[in-house]
Amino acid sequence: MKKKIATARLVLEDGSEFVGWAFGKARSQAGEVVFTTGMAGYPQSLTDPSFRGQILVSTYPLVGNYGIPLDPKTGGPVFDERGIPVHFESDRVQVSGFVVSEVCDDPSHFACESTLSAWLDKNNVPGIAGIDTRALTERLREHGVMRGKILIDGTRDVTFDSGDVDHPVAEVSPKKVTTYPAEPTGGKRAPRVVLVDCGAKANILRCLIARNVEVVRVPWNHDLSEIDYDGVFLSNGPGDPKACGKTIATVRRVIAGEKPVFGICLGNQLIALAAGADTYKLPYGHRGQNQPCVEVGTRRCYITSQNHGYAVRGDTLPNDWEPWFVNGNDGTIEGVKSSSGIFSAVQFHPEGCPGPRDTEFLIDRFVAQVREAAGLPPDQPPRIDAGETRDGALARMKDAAAPAAAAKSAAKKTKGGAK
């Protein structure tokens, strides 16, 4: 017997309503309504901790056509050998709701183990489909992001403020310290980097580990004075950066020293606040995979992946700090750095996932700075393909090198025999 599809409404706090039908969990839910222009990567976007407490609108018309990649044995996320999610950016769905024009109930992909609707249902997240997401996006662009609620027929009503999250960073940040060891290179230890996790995407961990860095992952409000480290990485995360007073105080102490610091997304705002600059909320934010960013002082433009609702006020940067990147569309600050260049951050996601990895070289730059400051030799990391782990990349390189090594050995033997 075919399941009956319930009618659903998306109601915005300005009084506008959009009618469609429900998918996912049949429950009403409120949250801040934001939109993303990404054309793919919905499993990564929906599990991105930066979306905590928000109802996400997809401007791309069809969502769910390649399903959800899950572990066929457990029905949950696939984890690598270090316990890091392989296909997701965290171990759970982080959005409060999902709004699409059309949802696919018959996906096709070799890794698909669930439909989008069944996955959201399992994670207690409602969705609404069949609405004009173009009209909805235009409203959000004109009036700015606002509270909203998904109301499913047959379920109780909720208030707009019931979706508010007092401190989203505290919700998504880990509660304990975790260390991810690295192998020594060239007879010397690997550099140790503290990852201040304010809601870090899993691909940040993957990228650092791929560069043979020992990562010490700490909660957003952790005291770093008891940790011996070579550099600090400030992660992305949800909400207003000014709510992270303890993190800002920690960063202020760190940038008073001489060890490299690099931040992304929320980390860009935190390092700017710690330096003495100000931040503000954007009308509708930057969320998508095609935001153009221009490096200041050059004509280089990079296509970047972004997910943020706040930005740094460029005119409030101290004299020893400067804009590093600016947005090619609206001119907002997309990166800052100190005059020495040892403290820097970008507003976009150089690790991508979803989205382009064109600026992943910035992570290489940071790791090189850390190695130099720690007196360690440079390292040539393996190329990590999308969805691949460092161990998998090393195994792939070994397999690729085996025929060449065998041919070289055979040539040596032949040459020796000729003598």
Active site residues: 265, 349, 351
Q: Which two tokens stand for residue 165?
A: 């999250």
Task: Find, among 239, 191, 225, 229, the residue nearest to 54 by Cα.
Answer: 239
Say if strands 29-36 and 146-152 run parallel, antiparallel, or are unpaired: antiparallel
Residue 126 and residue 21 in contact, taking contact as beta carbons nearer than 8 Å:
no
Task: Find, among 72, 25, 66, the residue nearest to 43 by Cα.
Answer: 66
CA angle 296, 300, 302 (to 5 degrees): 100
Q: Which two tokens stand for residue 171?
A: 């919700």
Alpha-carbon gap, residue 347 to 310, rounded angstroms? 9
Alpha-carbon gap, residue 297 to 299, rounded angstroms? 7
Residue 321's identity, in one-letter code, is: W
Q: Which two tokens stand for residue 352?
A: 């991508």
Alpha-carbon gap, residue 68 to 25, rounded angstroms? 16
Q: What is 17-81 written as a DSSP string?
A: EEEEEEEES---EEEEEEEE--SS-HHHHHT-GGGTTEEEEE-SSEE-TT-EE--TTTSS--B-T
Q: Which two tokens stand for residue 345?
A: 């951050």
- The H or E element spanning position 308 is strand 301-312
Task: Find, among 185, 242, 182, the residue nearest to 207 by Cα.
Answer: 182
SS3 140: helix
Residue 379 and residue 212 in contact, taking contact as beta carbons nearer than 8 Å:
yes
